[in-house]
Each structure stands twice: as structure tokens, then as C-alpha cells.
Amino acid sequence: MGLITILLLVLLAGAILSLLTKTTAQARGVALVSSFGALAISILMYLMYDANFNTVTHYAFEESGTWMPSIGIGYHVGVDGISLPMVILATIVCALCTVFSWTESKRPNQFFALLLLMDLTLIGVFVSLDFFMFYVFWELTLLPMFFLIGIWGGPRKDYSAIKFLIYTHIASVLMMLGIFALYYFHGASTGIYTFDIPTLVNAYKDGILPISQFWLDFIFVTIMFGFMVKMPSVPFHTWLPDAHVEAPTIGSIILAGVLLKMGGYGLFRVLLPMMGVASTWFIYLIALFGLVSILYSPFAALAQKDLKKLVAFSSIGHMGFISLGVAASVLAGMDPARVVAHTGAMFQMFSHGIITCVLFGCCGVIEHHTHTRIIDDLGGLTKKMPKLAILMIVGFFASLGLPLCSGFVAEFGILSGSYHTMPIFVMLAAISIPFTAGYHLWAVQRTMFGPYNEYLGDVKEIKWFEFLPLAIWTIIFVVLGIYPEPIIGMMQTTAEYFLLSGDVLPIGGIHVAAGGAFPW
Amino acid sequence: MSDVATATTALMDFRPYAHWIMLLPMIGFLLELLIGKYWWRKGGMFATLSILGSVIISYGCLYNVYVQHLGFWEYSWDWFYPGIVAGFTIDPLSLAMLCMVSFISFFIHFYAIGYMSHDCAKNVYFAETALFTGSMFGLVLANNLLQLFIFWEMVGVCSYLLIGFWWHKPEAAAAGKKAWMSCAVGDCLFLLGIAMMYTIMVKQGITTEIISFNNIFQNLEHLSHETIFGMSALTIICILFMCGVLGKSAGFPLHVWIPDAMEGPTTVSALIHAATMVTAGVYLIARAFPIFLAAPNALMIVAFMGAFTALYASTLGLVVNDLKRIFAYSTISQLGYMIAILGCGAVLGVAAVAYALFHLVAHAFFKALLFLSSGSVLHGIGNVRDIKEMGGLLKGMPWTGYAMLAGALALIAFPFTAGYYSKDKVIEEAYIYAVHDGGLGYLPWIFLVLGVILTATYTFRAWYLAMTGEPRSYPAIRPHECGFWMKTTLVVLSVFALGLGFLTADWSKGIISGLFSGGAKFWHFLEETFVHETHTASGVVYEGLNLHDIALLGGNTLMEHGAHPPQWVILLPLILMIAGLAIATMVYYKNRVDVSKYVKKDNPLYQILWNKYYLDYIFKDIIAEKIIMTVFTFWDVLDRYVIDGVVNLMSWITIQSGQVSRKLQTGVVQNYATAVIFGVSMLMILVIMLRGGL
């Protein structure tokens, strides 16, 4: 039994045990042991990554076994330089979330069980190398989140929870159609019916499927739609602000911090090798989705009156950078720059996951202490909550792309690395920077600075169990902003493998039209 | 024996420790933030002492390079992406900045111990200024564009935080945001320029130190063939860099944030918005000077923007009544002089960098002095900033008054003060540029010369109104003089504001010639930048550049050394300065002219100046509030009702169709029977039609 299986079992056992407890303290204790155990295992995996790396399949800690051999479903898990950081991200976020909800008193046993289940399913998505497992975990993530919103959510929780469930579920069903099509076409042509991700994806990439361009495109578009809704990319984003506004703080943190990353992760794991075999203008479509999200989010965020909704829109913009970076890096061009863009896009996933936790955490603390999130009702909170002010200012600056925070490293990589293949896209994306700065600073100014709004009453300073996770997240993104090598190093190796080895993409990238430039 | 000498030399070699210049204040920042509150005077010690450490290393490096001739030094470590390094460079250009920044920052911290003594969040203030100082060192030491940009943003964020240090004042918070936003407009373009530079450098096949300055300089010949949209890539990159400079160094039209930034503590205005941070833009052009030189037309744009800003801002200084804002406009104007002379480098070559840097250093001393003495005024009369409410302060606060006089004399370039050597040289050399270029080339020189008379007038308008005459408000009747910490700083800075020229004079030519050659040593030292080789720790030696060849790439021809402007050109700024001084004396000291005749609402000229050429109005009321507000309100409607509307419409359709089908389930057998019969008959019709029957 490998480390990944142990990791999943620890969380499963924690979830079941926590459901059986009676009080907050018991449930919390179980959740703490289980989630920090998972964190310890993921850190252990990080330390042992090189030793367990399989240079043939390019995965570490790979385990494969049969499950339902008659229809080609196997138990196949493994991590590489993109999925291991995501596993670490998921365990860090969920472990600190258990600390953050120290005093949860409403149905504590179910709450902590769902939290652990959330952690379990997210990690399941990131480690699965079998489409069936991948899809099952992908769908299972909806359940804990649906209940977290539906039970612990705000006033319009029913509408939001159902909208979240149905919207993302429809996207998943479409994705399933694509996966089934891939499965059947592969089985029909080779006689081997399997859901194994590397096998299917390589078959698609190598062009051994005897199907027309229409079906190639069909598979690509359906799977892409599933990922784009999850990321979410404009115009499929409207479920996200609603879900965030009604979700409890923990729900928002996990939703924005880890759950959205599933879409980005799918882009790397499944879609990347398919690019170029499907119609090449889909690459530009993905970049366009990214660009539109980047330009759309600051304007939408400026209009928001609810602090949490503002932060939700900032996520949409930051996720757009990932699409842009991935799309730009697969086109033919200069290899060092492509690797930088690709690594930047990978790092943006991790970096945004950590930074957004601080932002939503601060929103949650403000809501919990002042009982409002409407920006105009706040003001001068620095007077009552100086510690929160420091965290929030650092977090907001990191989010707007301040250097020496991890977000800048990622965005610099994406912009510099993408310029040679998509100059116009990068120029337009750069325009968003002042607007992004604008809504962040305006929000900080109206909540933290200026005279204190006395109608808020005597607001208490942030509590230790709220402060501690936020401070740790802050330290993580600052340290990674100053020295990103621990995470970026393994990402870069994987990016070089994806882009340059020829196993995943044609060496030197995909040539589009004449001269590698799109005809517009 | 030689071993001992080598060992001694190695022991005295500060150059490999240059990164500690940056790191020490950063450590000071952490200590101040975490434990500063519990130590001496509740804050200030860690910051001030750590900067003293930076002063020692900076001057040690200066000793190594200037006295011991140990050569220019550069070293770097791999940072994140391949080819992106954290690197530090020691050459005359960075040394001039390091020595100035460390010295002035140390004394401003020293002053702030007294000035901020009553503030309850003192340790936070000192933590932020220490972080600022460390970031400024990082910017100056950077050997590559990205590191420079990183610290460029870091000094920006410190500026934001310190402008809004008194966060409970709404105008302070708004001013901080305005500062960041004005800079962000320039910075996003600067970042785009860096991305372009990265791309064209990678295109040359360069894999290490991709965007290091020296590496770029070595490859300028290849880079000059690159094009973007049919234009020279270098020119576009330089224009994008220039946009960053306009934001940070307050060039027209992005200068609007500096006057508002005066909401911060006066020490912050002195440190950040007069002496150091705002000169970062000038430093960027100086550091990237060979790139600008190799880019066609880039330096011309620099010269025109700089000269226009210099004149433009000095007209605004004439009408403002806020003491600190007068000096803020004068800062914008003086930065314009520096940028303009760098633009004249298209003819003057590296000498232009030397002249700009000397004016930068001299300006840092006298402008810091002016701000600190106005801080002392504010401290002494209870934060009154309107010069109309001052008057006669010289009697109550002579130290402050005479310190401000020293600063004012240096600012207007009174003979033998620091400004006389720095600014008059800038104007003389701009004339040489004008003669060389002819035609429109005269424009920068004309702007700069006209700026002189206005500078003298507005500076002494402020000094006379504040210091002489009768007190015009209650607080001004009994001002109290500043204490030990502040007085010491004022004296030290006054000495430098008056005597910096003598410090850098070439006395070897004799007393009289020496008196008129102030700045000579400084210029000779700075002119070695770029043209001498740089050694690196990795063993690579960057050859000195031949700037004449590089200039040819950009279509510029450098002039040989030794051109002298005619005597009247040298005397003209002096005469104009005396004229401006005379006007101010007549109007505001002798009161021979009644200005209230002109300072009226119905005077259109006064209206335009008072409203700052309506630029603030355009930016804030029209662009920010009308256009952007409208756009994003529309955007919200789009998001809520169009995009989400489609989603909700689809779910509504689904639900409605569900409702319809639910109504069918009535539970009445007849209805089901009807439906079944209807369905079966429809199916039969369909089958028959398909089989082609009937």
C-alpha cells in the first residue's frame, strides 16, 4: 500500500470517526488528527518525491491495480510535479481550515466529517490516473460542498447550493460524454477497453484513434467545457459569486483555494496533450477564455458592494492567467520562454490557492465580528482590529500582484513567457493590472482606513484560531514569493517534460498556420 | 609582506557584502515590527541602527572603488525561473545612489526619532521606513531589470503605506490610493517592457542572466535589429520604461499624486517623495542609459518630457498656498531637470548621466532639508500648513528658518551652493544639446531656463511668507523651536546643501579654478560608468562599452568632450535667478506690489493655475468617476442580468417544462388513457410515414 492510498484512507477514517462523535471538541480532535496527518503524509511525499520518481511513466508514488477489469476500470494513482503541489495545497488548506473552525457548534460532527470528505475527494481528483476514478472523485467533490453551503450557508443558501450543484453537474455530465466517447473509440479501435488516463490521452495525441476531426473536436470541447465551468472562466462563472456569497467561510476558502484548481489541473493533466490534435484554434479559444476572464473580473469586482463577492471576482481573473499561460506555452516558439510560461501557470495554481485563503479568511473574520460584509458599512477597522488589518493589507497586496509575494512570480512568468507567442493577448492582459490594483486598494481603503464606523459597535480583535491559519498562509505566500524554488523546481521539471520531451507534445510546440502566428 | 597586504585588502573589500546593504534594513524592519514596541523609546532604534550599518558598507564600497581602484563588481544568485537572478552591482552609478540614500535615510530616521516621538504607532512607522530604505537599496543595487522592478514596486507599496500612515484621515487613505494608482498605470507598461526585453533577449539565444543590464548592453547590436509591429523594439521598450518613469518620478501627466502624497508625515515626504523614491525613475534611465542611447528617438522623448515637466510644475508652484505642496511641485520640476539632461545624453553621452546624478544627489540634500525644515515648522506651530497663516516665524524658530533659507538658496542655485553647480551645469549642457540638434532641440533648453526664474520666485515666496513679516494666525505667534534630534539633522543637511559643490571640487587647479569647478570629481567618477569593464564573481568580465558605437545604433552621434557654451549662456541662469529672487523680494518682502489684484477668481490665468490645468479634474471627475464608474455599473448589469440571466432562463425553462409534465400527472385514469392512445396513434402515424405508406 503506497503513501497515496494511506493518505486517502487516513482522511476516510477521519471522516467516518468524526461523524460518530458527539461534541465539538471530539469532532474537532478527530478532524485535527486526521487532517494534520494528511498534511504530514503529503509533506513526506514531497520529501521522498525524487526517490520514488518513475522516470519511465514520469509519475511518483504510482500504484496501479485492477478494480473492475471487465470494463477496464483500474485503481491507478500517482503524482507528478503538477499534482503533488496540488495535493500539498489541498492538505494545507484543509488542515488549517479545521483550526479556523475551532468553535463550530452547529452539527459539529457532520461539519468536520464533510470537511475531511472534501479534503479526501479533492486529493482523489489530483492523484487519479484513471478516468473513472477521476470522474467519481470529481463528482464527489460536489456533495460535501453542496451540504456545506446548504446547511451552514447564508440566507439564500438553497438557491446558491442548488445552482452550484446543477451548473457544475451539467458541465461534468458533458465532460463524461467526452470521456465515454474517448473510451469507446479507443476500445473500438484497439480492442482494449480502458479508462486509464495516460493510455487514453496518449492514444488521442498519437492519432491512433480512427475517428474524424469532428469527433476529436467533440471529445476536446466537452472535456474543456467541464474544466472551464469549474475554473470558472467567463462566461460560465456566474455560479461562483453566488456560491461564495452564501457559503460559510470555510466553504469559500476551500472552494476558491482548492476546488477551482480542479479545472486548472484538468487543463494540465487531460487537455494539454490533446491540444493541437483537436482543431488548433481551440488553443486560441482557451487563451481567449483566459483573457476575457482577466479583463472581465476587475470591472465586475469594482461594482461589487459585498466584500466577499469582490474577492470571488478576483479569483476569476487570477484563474484566467492559468488558461492564458497554458495556451501560450503549447504554441511553437522559444523553448525557454515556453517553459517559463508553463511553469508560471502551474505556480499560479498553487499561489492563488494560498493567497485567496487569506482573502476569504479575512472576509469571514470581518463578517463574524461585525456581522456585515457590505463594504460601505465598514470603515476604519484598523482601529479595532490592527492584526487583521496587517493580514488583510498583505493579502490584498499579494492578490493584486505585489512582488515578493508568490502571485507576482507566477504572473511575471506567464506574461514574459507568453509574450513571444501571443503578444496581443499579453498586452491586453497587462492592461488589467491597474484596474486590479484599483479595486483591491479601493476595498482596503473603504474597509480598513478612514474614520471608524461607530455603528458597528465594539468590535473585538481577531481570535487566535482565526489569526493562526491566516498568518501561516501569509507566511507561506511571502516565503514562496521570495524563494519559490521549493515548489517551482518540481513544476519546472514537469513543464519541461510536458513541453520538450516529445512524449506529451510535439517537440517545439504546435505550429499554427504559417510562421506559427494565428492569422489575425 | 604582499600576503599581508592582500589579506588586508581582502578584509577591507566591502564589495562582496553589498547585499547586506539591502538586507540590514530588512532585518531592522522585522525587528522593529515584532519587538520594536518594547525597546528604547518604543521604536526607532532597530531601524536607525540597521541603516547605520548600511551607511558603513556603502561608504566602504565607495572607498574600495574610488580610493583603492578595486574595479566595478557584480555578483548574482539564481533566483526563480531559469536565467532570472538576484544580482548586485557596484559601480559609480550605484555607489552615488547608495551613498546618498544611506546617508540621507540615516539622518531622516535620526530626525524622525524626535519628530514622531508623540505617535503611538511609532514602531510601525519605523518598520515601514526601514523596509522602504532596504527596498530602495535593493532597487539601486539590482543588476537586472526584474529585480529592479520588484523593488520598484516594493518602494511603491511602502510609499502607499506611509502616505496613509495616519489612516484614520480619509484624505490620507485616498492620497495613498491615488499614488499607487498613478504609479500602477506606468508600472504595468514597464512590466510589459520587461516582458518584451525578456523575449528579444531569449531570441538571441541567451540562457543565463537573461535580463541583466550588462548582458543586455553587450547584446545591444543584435537587439537593435529586432522589431515589434514594424518599429524598433528597443524604442518601444524604452517608451514603455519611460511610462514607468513618468509614474514613479512624477513626470507629466502622471505627476498628480505627489502633491496629495503630502498628507503623510513630513519625514516621509522628505525621505520618499523628495530625496529617494521619486528619483528611482531617473535612476532607471541612468542605469539603462545605453539601451536608451541605442534606441532611435527614445532619448529625444525623454528630453522633451523632462523639460516640459520642469517648466509645467514650476508654474503650479507659484499659486499653491500649502507649504509642503510648494516644495512638492518644486520636486516634480527638479526631477524634470534630471530627466531632461538624461535625454540630452543623445549628444552628451555618459556625461549626461554624471550631470543628472549630481543634480539628483544635490537635490536630495537640499530638498530633504527643505522638507525637514517645513516639518519642523509644522511641528512648531501645530500642523498649520497654509503659508497665509504663517509669517514672522524666523524670530521664534531661527534654526529652522535659516536651515530652510539654506535649502531655498541651494534650490534656486544661488552661487556656490550645491544647486549652483548642479543645476546650472544641467542648463549649460542642455544648451550644447540645443546647438548640436538645432531647431526643436532648443526647446528643452528654453523650458529649463524659464523654469529658473519661476523656481526662484515660488521658493522665496514661500520663505518670505512663512518666515518674515507679521504672524498672520494665532499658532504662528508663539512657535516653538525643534529639539535636539531634529536640530542636528537640519544642521548636517544645511552644511551639505550649501557645501556639496566644494566637496566635489577639483582643487588641484588652484583655489579660484577650484571654486568654479564644483562637481568635477563627482562627474569624472560617474563618467567611468559603462565605459569601464565590470568584473563578476562568476569570472565573466563585461567589457567596457563604446558608447559612440552604441549611439550610432540609435542614429545618435555623440559629441567629443570639451565643448563650452558661450559666456552669456553660463550667466543667463544666474541673471534669471536674481530676477526671480528680486520679484519675490519686491512682492512678498517689501510688499511693493499688491498681488491680490491678480489673485482673483476672475483672472483666467490664475484660475487655470489654481485648478492645476484641470488635470486632476480630468483624471478624477471625468475618467475615474464618470467613465469608469459608468462602465463598471454597466458591467455589473451585464453580469447579473445578461450572463446570469441566460443561466437562470435555462433553469426556468427546465423548471417550467417540469411543471407542465407534473400537471399531466393528475392521477386520473382517463387522462393517462387519453395520453397513451394519443401517443400510440402518433407513433403509428410516424411509422407509416417513414415506411412510405398511406
Note the pLDDT tens digit of each residue in A188-205.
888 888 889 999 998 888
Judge: B157–A397 Cβ closer than 8 Å, yes or no.
yes
Grid coordinates in use for A296?
472581465
C-alpha A261 chain-centroid distance: 1
For residue B555, pLDDT beyond 90: no
B185 part of contact set with chain A, CB < 8 Å: yes
Note whether residue B512 is domain-resident: no
In the listed set B575, B593, B610, which residue is the last one of a domain according to the structure?
B610
Note whether residue B126 is domain-resident: yes
Judge: B184–A402 Cβ closer than 8 Å, yes or no.
no
Examine the domain organization and report whether B173 and B315 are in the same domain: no
List A60's β-bridge partners, or say none: A53, A79
For residue B610, pLDDT beyond 80: no
Are B61 and B71 contacting, i.e. CB atoms less than 8 angstroms apart?
A: no
Half-sphere exposure of A89 (CA within 13 A, CB side): 36
- Give A66's pLDDT tier (boundaries 50, 70, 90): confident
Grid coordinates in use for A402?
505585489
For residue B655, pLDDT beyond 80: no
For B440, counting Cβ atoms within 10 Å of its Cβ (0-12 exposed, 13-18 middle, 19+ buried), the class is: exposed
Judge: A412–B168 Cβ closer than 8 Å, yes or no.
no
| More reliable by pLDDT, B650 or B365 | B365
Looking at this protein, which amino acid is placed at residue B238? C
Number of domains present in the structure of chain B: 3
SS3 of chain A: helix, strand, coil, percent, to 5 = 75, 5, 20
| Number of CB atoms found within 10 A of residue A197's CB | 22
pLDDT at residue A165, rounded to an integer: 83
Examine the domain organization and report whether B472 and B503 are in the same domain: yes
Distance from CA of B196 to the nearest CA of A (A): 7
Which of B82, B194, B635 faces A299 most closely, judged by CB atoms? B635
Note whether residue B553 is domain-resident: no
For residue B197, pLDDT beyond 80: yes
Note whether residue B518 is domain-resident: no
Which residue does chain A place closest to B198, by CA atoms?
Answer: A416
Are A82 and A487 contacting, i.e. CB atoms less than 8 angstroms apart?
A: no
Examine the domain organization and report whether B159 and B264 are in the same domain: yes
Residue linked to cell 539591502: B22
The model's pTM is 0.92
For residue B122, pLDDT beyond 80: yes
Distance from CA of B634 to the nearest CA of A (A): 9
Examine the domain organization and report whether B250 and B353 are in the same domain: no
Mutate one of A412, A414, A446 to test the B interface: name it (highest B CB count within 10 A): A412
| Number of CB atoms found within 10 A of residue B178's CB | 25
Chain A partners within 8 Å of B203 (Cβ): 334, 420
Examine the domain organization and report whether B171 and B255 are in the same domain: yes
Examine the domain organization and report whether B309 and B265 are in the same domain: no
Chain A partners within 8 Å of B146 (Cβ): 412
Which of A303, A409, A434 faces B181 most closely, judged by CB atoms? A434
Q: Over range B522-528, report the average pLDDT.
A: 89
Over residues B275-331, the pLDDT tens digits come to 899 999 999 999 999 999 999 889 999 999 999 999 999 998 888 889 999 999 999
Judge: A167–B647 Cβ closer than 8 Å, yes or no.
yes
pLDDT at residue B1, rounded to an integer: 42
Rounded to 5°, the CA angle B85-B89-B93 comes to: 135
Judge: B189–A430 Cβ closer than 8 Å, yes or no.
yes
For residue A65, pLDDT beyond 50: yes
- Give B7's pLDDT tier (boundaries 50, 70, 90): low
B37 part of contact set with chain A, CB < 8 Å: no
Mutate one of A339, A347, A441 to test the B interface: name it (highest B CB count within 10 A): A441
Task: Give the percent of chain B with pLDDT over 90.
Answer: 46
User: For residues B459, B461, B465 and B468, what is the CA-based torsion angle, rounded to 10 degrees?
Assistant: 80
| Distances B395 to A69, B400, B480, B591 between C-alpha atoms, Å | 98, 10, 10, 20
| More reliable by pLDDT, A71 or B673 | A71
pLDDT at residue A36, rounded to an integer: 95
- Give B617's pLDDT tier (boundaries 50, 70, 90): confident
Looking at this protein, which amino acid is placed at residue B642? V
pLDDT at residue B671, rounded to an integer: 62
Judge: A402–B187 Cβ closer than 8 Å, yes or no.
no
B146 part of contact set with chain A, CB < 8 Å: yes
Examine the domain organization and report whether B173 and B280 are in the same domain: yes
Which residue does chain B place closest to A160, by CA atoms?
Answer: B648
- Give B678's pLDDT tier (boundaries 50, 70, 90): low
pLDDT at residue B600, rounded to an integer: 73
CA distance linking residue A372 with residue B151, whole number of Å: 37
Examine the domain organization and report whether B574 and B631 are in the same domain: no
- Give B687's pLDDT tier (boundaries 50, 70, 90): low
CA distance linking residue B276 with residue B361, whole number of Å: 9
pLDDT at residue B196, rounded to an integer: 94
CA distance linking residue B281 with residue B187, whole number of Å: 11
Examine the domain organization and report whether B226 and B100 are in the same domain: yes
Q: Over range A282-301, report the average pLDDT.
A: 91
Q: Over range A469-480, report the average pLDDT.
A: 95
Judge: B184–A434 Cβ closer than 8 Å, yes or no.
yes
Which of A344, A434, A485 faces B188 most closely, judged by CB atoms? A434
B643 part of contact set with chain A, CB < 8 Å: yes
DSSP annotation string for B357-388 = HHHHHHHHHHHHHHHHHHHHHHHHTTS--BGG
Residue linked to cell 456569497: A245
DSSP annotation string for B454-499 = HHHHHHHHHHHHHHSS---SSTTTS-----HHHHHHHHHHHHHHHH
pLDDT at residue A291, rounded to an integer: 94
Residue A489: CB partners within 8 Å, gap ≥ 6?
A: none
pLDDT at residue A519, rounded to an integer: 38
Chain A partners within 8 Å of B636 (Cβ): 300, 303-304
pLDDT at residue A412, rounded to an integer: 94
Judge: B198–A343 Cβ closer than 8 Å, yes or no.
no
List B240's β-bridge partners, or say none: none
- Give B694's pLDDT tier (boundaries 50, 70, 90): very low
Note whether residue B522 is domain-resident: no
Note whether residue B235 is domain-resident: yes
Examine the domain organization and report whether B261 and B330 are in the same domain: no
Interchain CB contacts (distance < 8 Å): A and B: 137
Average the pLDDT over each of A302-316, B349-363, B386-400 and give the range with the smallest value: B386-400
Residue B214: CB partners within 8 Å, gap ≥ 6?
A: B74, B89, B143, B534, B542
CA distance linking residue A76 with residue A74, whole number of Å: 6
CA distance linking residue A41 with residue A260, whole number of Å: 23
Q: Over range A281-309, report the average pLDDT.
A: 91
Which of B80, B83, B195 faces A426 most closely, judged by CB atoms? B195
For residue B692, pLDDT beyond 60: no
Judge: A300–B635 Cβ closer than 8 Å, yes or no.
yes
Domain range spanning residue B373? Answer: 297-507+566-610
Examine the domain organization and report whether B57 and B19 are in the same domain: yes
B17 part of contact set with chain A, CB < 8 Å: no
For residue B96, pLDDT beyond 90: yes
- Give A518's pLDDT tier (boundaries 50, 70, 90): very low
Rounded to 5°, the CA angle A370-A373-A374 comes to: 115
Pairing of strands B534-536, B72-78: parallel
| More reliable by pLDDT, A156 or A265 | A265
Note whether residue B526 is domain-resident: no
Which residue does chain A place closest to B168, by CA atoms?
Answer: A450
pLDDT at residue A520, rounded to an integer: 40
Q: Over range B433-446, report the average pLDDT.
A: 88
Average the pLDDT over each of A430-439, A476-485, B302-311, B465-474 and give the range with the smallest value: B465-474
Distance from CA of A167 to the nearest CA of B (A): 9
Mutate one of B34, B122, B202, B644 to test the A interface: name it (highest A CB count within 10 A): B202
Smallest Cα–Cα separation from B282: which of B227, B242, B233? B242
Examine the domain organization and report whether B537 and B597 are in the same domain: no
Judge: A303–B191 Cβ closer than 8 Å, yes or no.
no
Q: What are φ and ψ of residue A179, in 5° steps?
A: -65, -45
CA distance linking residue A419 with residue A341, whole number of Å: 9
Note whether residue B465 is domain-resident: yes
Which residue does chain A place closest to B240, by CA atoms?
Answer: A427
| Distances B54 to B14, B18, B369 between C-alpha atoms, Å | 11, 9, 21
pLDDT at residue B653, rounded to an integer: 81
Edge to edge, the sheet with strand A53-54 lists: A53-54, A59-68, A73-79
CA distance linking residue A243 with residue A258, whole number of Å: 15
Judge: B184–A438 Cβ closer than 8 Å, yes or no.
yes
b/e per residue B590-618 (b: at least 16 CB within 10 A): eeeeeeeeeeeeeeeebeebeebeebeee
Judge: B199–A416 Cβ closer than 8 Å, yes or no.
yes
B181 part of contact set with chain A, CB < 8 Å: yes
Give chain B's mean pLDDT. Answer: 87
B375 part of contact set with chain A, CB < 8 Å: no
Are A440 and A400 contacting, i.e. CB atoms less than 8 angstroms apart?
A: yes
Residue linked to cell 494665532: B474
| More reliable by pLDDT, B129 or B622 | B129
- Tell me, what DSSP letter sits at residue B278? G
Q: Over range B534-558, report the average pLDDT.
A: 88
Chain A partners within 8 Å of B186 (Cβ): none
For A55, counting Cβ atoms within 10 Å of its Cβ (0-12 exposed, 13-18 middle, 19+ buried), the class is: exposed
Q: Over range B577-593, report the average pLDDT.
A: 87
ipTM score assigned to the predicted complex? 0.93
Which of A167, A237, A340 faces B81 most closely, judged by CB atoms? A340
| Distances A215 to A190, A208, B274 between C-alpha atoms, Å | 17, 13, 65
- Give B680's pLDDT tier (boundaries 50, 70, 90): low
For residue A254, pLDDT beyond 60: yes
- Give B264's pLDDT tier (boundaries 50, 70, 90): confident
For residue A517, pLDDT beyond 60: no
Give chain A's mean pLDDT. Answer: 90
Judge: A426–B191 Cβ closer than 8 Å, yes or no.
no
Over residues A198-244, the pLDDT tens digits come to 999 988 888 888 888 888 888 999 999 999 999 889 888 888 988 89
Over residues B126-166, the pLDDT tens digits come to 999 999 999 999 999 999 999 999 999 999 999 999 998 98
- Give B468's pLDDT tier (boundaries 50, 70, 90): confident
| Number of CB atoms found within 10 A of residue A501's CB | 11
In the listed set B579, B595, B610, which residue is the last one of a domain according to the structure?
B610
Smallest Cα–Cα separation from B469: which of B584, B592, B589? B589
What's the full length of chain B, in residues? 694
